[in-house]
A and B are shown apart, each in its own frame.
Chain A
């Protein structure tokens, strides 16, 4: 279930105000914005830059460097599938191929109905029980194609 998100200007202002005094405040601010809004919108960049006395290019460079942050809105849910070795050893490649087919979208893309954004991830720390994935912050392990379908059906019908 998606909760209504605060307006982006409010979200950005609150996130900046709450963290700007911290040493090394940029990542905490970006996390706070993305946690609230689902992504870091372009209008956040100049506001953060001014608050932290950085150039826009620096802020932009940081957002782009970290895989976690996204600048475009994602779907209602993010499904992160592990592509790392321990999950490979238990069939992650086949699961990923299935996921892309079933959702008809590639990594970093969102399904046509806007419910699911598919992302790769390198390790979720469930390496004895792969293949693993995370739906938003909810972990799933031993994910077979059938379980993947059940899971994503649930997400997509919950809309």
Chain B
């Protein structure tokens, strides 16, 4: 009998030594004459436990972790393939509280299946959404997505169904579906985990989008910093083509959809959808003025759906289970679930998919377990480099789009970066300005020049040179950037800067009349 173990191929797991562990397991099994099958799955997203090795048992999977190469002989010694009495044993994977308490809707398969086995995908409900969609009219698909309440998970939280409706309404010979896999926000890795852990789900979601609006071509724009995700996705696309899930005639339906993965060039601004389209066209990533919307005049001037990885990956489930199933999760106008990502100085960092509505505090302490350094949490940045810094006073805010907007913050792509009390918030404010100066596309003066001025002004505040006047100058500068920027790069950089200044004034000089 062959025993089966799972060792993730997720790139964070690789960085923690998963390949070496897989090799050691294979070698040790061979030495002991044990027939062992090793499946390279995605990650469950419990990164402090990676490399997390799972053993298939008749009653489900048993988890061991974090496993190092040195642990391997001991695991065999303890006969971990059969009863698992070993100090690294975490019990049944699905009963690890961090995982058990989640609502894994979009991430249901990630970490469970072999990401490059189409058969495994099919055996775990894969492509059910597409079969359903092929029986429906485009209008019905769009209506279902609209009714589910799904809003864009890339940052702006725009209703996905409404965007699709616009593309559907426009008549054109050619339409595109573009997936934004630029995942530039620090503190985020959910797109990466999908591409590395369940790429067929993304392909299926894009195919459903294409069928809904009559698009025939698609692109996934993957950041160049993600070579593993890019290669896994490319292989998955080839496998899907070979089995008729992509190509001229999808599953004999007479509908065609061609999908290509494209590598980005390491520019944050290319995550902005119009800069992304410019980049796909082979140009510099300069932001376009809107209107016209990409939905009307998008890639190569044609109507184009641009959606984030998680938005598109949520679609197969919505189509399969129905809008109501998805909409029943969540709170207020934030429906369904969000894949939160606990990052930075956090004890239990990883992916936490939950229905909207729990509080930031629950996430930080009940899941995150506080900081990794053991010091108090002082500041948290939610929603990427353009997101506001929050302090203890904001921790009871429920995680939903409107509640965050009400405190001048945003959930964005769901990344949560934790800092302990050693953080210098003036330095973080300076970084926000510096980042904007480096990554600005250069089109608007307030963003391009204002951010450089911002760095200088914060430096002067830190030196203690004429603090009150410099602080007033910083606020003026932020006002100009807020009002005079074409996109959120220049328009939202003031959020981390001003939130740091307002909530942590003590870091900008002692007892200053601000």
List residues of A whose CB falls within 8 A of some B CB. 23-28, 30-31, 52, 58, 61-62, 65-69, 80, 82, 84-90, 121-130, 132, 134, 137, 139-142
Most central of B186, B267, B283, B341 by chain A CB within 10 Å: B186
Q: Does B164 contact A (CB under 8 A)?
A: no
Known: A26-B282, A128-B349, A141-B12. A65 touches B265 (CB 8 A): yes
Known: A86-B417, A140-B15. A122 touches B265 (CB 8 A): no
Most central of B184, B263, B420, B439 by chain A CB within 10 Å: B263
**9 further contact pairs, Cβ within 8 A, besides A85-B428, A85-B431, A126-B15:** A24-B282, A61-B284, A62-B284, A65-B267, A66-B266, A68-B267, A90-B372, A127-B415, A139-B14
Complex interface bits, B277-290 against A, C-beta within 8 A gives 1, otherwise 0: 00111111100000
Give Cα A55–Cα B111 distance, bound, in whole angstroms.
47
Contact B15 A139 (CB under 8 A): yes
Most central of A23, A128, A141 by chain B CB within 10 Å: A128
In the complex, the chain B residue whose C-beta lies closest to that of A28 is B262
Which residues of the other chain, B, contact A129 by a CB distance below 8 angstroms? 12, 15-16, 47, 349
Contact B12 A27 (CB under 8 A): no
Contact of A86 among B183, B186, B225, B435 (CB under 8 A): B186
Contact A128 B341 (CB under 8 A): yes
Give Cα A24–Cα B342 distance, bound, in whole angstroms.
36
In the complex, the chain B residue whose C-beta lies closest to that of A31 is B263
Which residues of the other chain, A, contact B126 by a CB distance below 8 angstroms? none
Which residues of the other chain, A, contact B227 by a CB distance below 8 angstroms? 137
Known: A62-B283, A132-B15, A137-B227. A89 touches B417 (CB 8 A): yes
Most central of A24, A80, A134, A137 by chain B CB within 10 Å: A24
Q: Does B350 contact A (CB under 8 A)?
A: yes
Contact A123 B12 (CB under 8 A): no
Give Cα A69–Cα B263 distance, bound, in whole angstroms.
12
Contact B345 A125 (CB under 8 A): no
Contact A85 B417 (CB under 8 A): yes
Q: How far is the CB of B301 from chain A (nearest CB, A)?
A: 12
Contact B344 A122 (CB under 8 A): no
Q: Which of B242-284 contact A (CB under 8 A)?
A: 262-268, 279-284
Q: How far is the CB of B430 from chain A (nearest CB, A)?
A: 11
Which residues of the other chain, A, contact B48 by a CB distance below 8 angstroms? 128
Contact A127 B417 (CB under 8 A): yes
Give Cα A142–Cα B189 distance, bound, in whole angstroms.
16
Q: Return 27 A-B CB contacts under 8 Å, by A number.
A: A27-B265, A27-B279, A28-B262, A58-B283, A62-B282, A62-B284, A65-B267, A66-B266, A66-B284, A67-B266, A82-B186, A85-B381, A85-B431, A121-B225, A121-B266, A122-B439, A123-B185, A125-B12, A125-B183, A126-B11, A126-B12, A126-B15, A127-B189, A127-B344, A127-B415, A127-B417, A141-B16
Which residues of the other chain, A, contact B186 by a CB distance below 8 angstroms? 82, 84-87, 122-123, 127
Q: How far is the CB of A23 from chain B (nearest CB, A)?
A: 7
Contact A27 B423 (CB under 8 A): no
Which residues of the other chain, A, contact B385 by a CB distance below 8 angstroms? 84-85, 122
Q: Which of B365-381 contact A (CB under 8 A)?
A: 372, 381
Q: Does B307 contact A (CB under 8 A)?
A: no
Q: Does B149 contact A (CB under 8 A)?
A: no
Q: Does B419 contact A (CB under 8 A)?
A: yes
Which residues of the other chain, B, contact A141 by a CB distance below 8 angstroms? 12, 15-16
Which residues of the other chain, A, contact B264 by a CB distance below 8 angstroms? 27, 66, 68
Which residues of the other chain, A, contact B439 by a CB distance below 8 angstroms? 122
Which residues of the other chain, B, contact A139 by a CB distance below 8 angstroms? 11-12, 14-15, 228
Give Cα A58–Cα B278 distance, bound, in whole angstroms.
13
Q: How far is the CB of A44 from chain B (nearest CB, A)?
A: 15
Which residues of the other chain, A, contact B229 by a CB distance below 8 angstroms? 125
Q: How far is the CB of B207 from chain A (nearest CB, A)?
A: 20
Q: Which of B153-202 contact A (CB under 8 A)?
A: 183-189, 192
Q: Does B226 contact A (CB under 8 A)?
A: yes
Contact A88 B431 (CB under 8 A): yes
Which residues of the other chain, A, contact B5 by a CB distance below 8 angstroms? none
Known: A85-B187, A89-B423, A129-B349. A69 touches B265 (CB 8 A): yes
Known: A27-B265, A67-B267. A128 touches B189 (CB 8 A): yes
Q: How far is the CB of A123 from chain B (nearest CB, A)?
A: 5
Q: How far is the CB of A142 from chain B (nearest CB, A)?
A: 8
Contact B262 A27 (CB under 8 A): yes
Which residues of the other chain, B, contact A65 by a CB distance below 8 angstroms? 265, 267, 284-285
Contact B262 A125 (CB under 8 A): no
Give Cα A121–Cα B349 distance, bound, in whole angstroms.
21
Contact of B263 among A27, A124, A130 (CB under 8 A): A27
Q: Does B224 contact A (CB under 8 A)?
A: yes
Which residues of the other chain, B, contact A130 by a CB distance below 8 angstroms? 343-344
Give Cα A27–Cα B282 distance, bound, in whole angstroms.
6
